[in-house]
Structure 1
Amino acid sequence: MQKFTTVDLLRDTKTVTMAADRHPVAITQHRKPRYVLMTYDEFEAMKSRGDPRRVYTVGEAPQELIDMIIPELDRLIAEGEDANG
């Protein structure tokens, strides 16, 4: 990802926005990435893909997820019991 400073953005907005027309660019502040500048169309496309993560309550978790989690929880509990004597 191409990077520009906040000073670059203030001094040469045209160059920074032209770069953002091709692909998202990082805007840095105090040498750390702080912002991302992208076209509105890219932003809308990103929003429409959504966040695939999901939170479940105990009663609604799919069985395949439960089957993966329970053995690991049992292992961690056993390790904790062994460490405590």
Structure 2
Amino acid sequence: MRQFTTGDLNKQVGDVTDAAAREPVVLTKHRKPRFVLMSYEHYERLRTGGDPRQSHHTAGMPDEHAELFGAALDRLARGEGYDDES
């Protein structure tokens, strides 16, 4: 878990909130952990105890996911890489 000072939060709010969007971050004051900043989605998962994400065995994968997965594997096999690579 990344840590920032409360001063960092004041000076670099964008960096701190970007990090908190990915995972909870600890905010320290006088070198002691004081707060945790996290995305609302993460908070809701903690609050409700639920996680809306699902995993499937490939044999039981919904057809629409299997098609997307197969297309991604085909792209990788052709050496096209990932969508976010330049």
Same fold by TM-score greater than 0.5 = yes
**Structure 2 unaligned runs (5+)?**
51-86
Residue 18 of structure 1 and its aligned partner are, at CA, apart by 0.3
Counterpart of 1:38?
38
Q: Distance in 2 between matches of 1:10 and 1:18?
A: 14
1:76 is matched with none
State the partner residue of 1:4.
4
Q: Give the length in aligned residue pairs.
A: 50
Q: Which has the higher helix share?
A: 1
TM-score (norm 1): 0.57
Q: Which runs of 4+ in 1 moved over 4 A?
A: none
1:18 aligns with 2:18: yes
TM-score, structure 2 length as denominator? 0.56
Shift of 1:49: 1.2
CA shift for structure 1 position 22 = 0.7
Percent identity over the alignment? 50
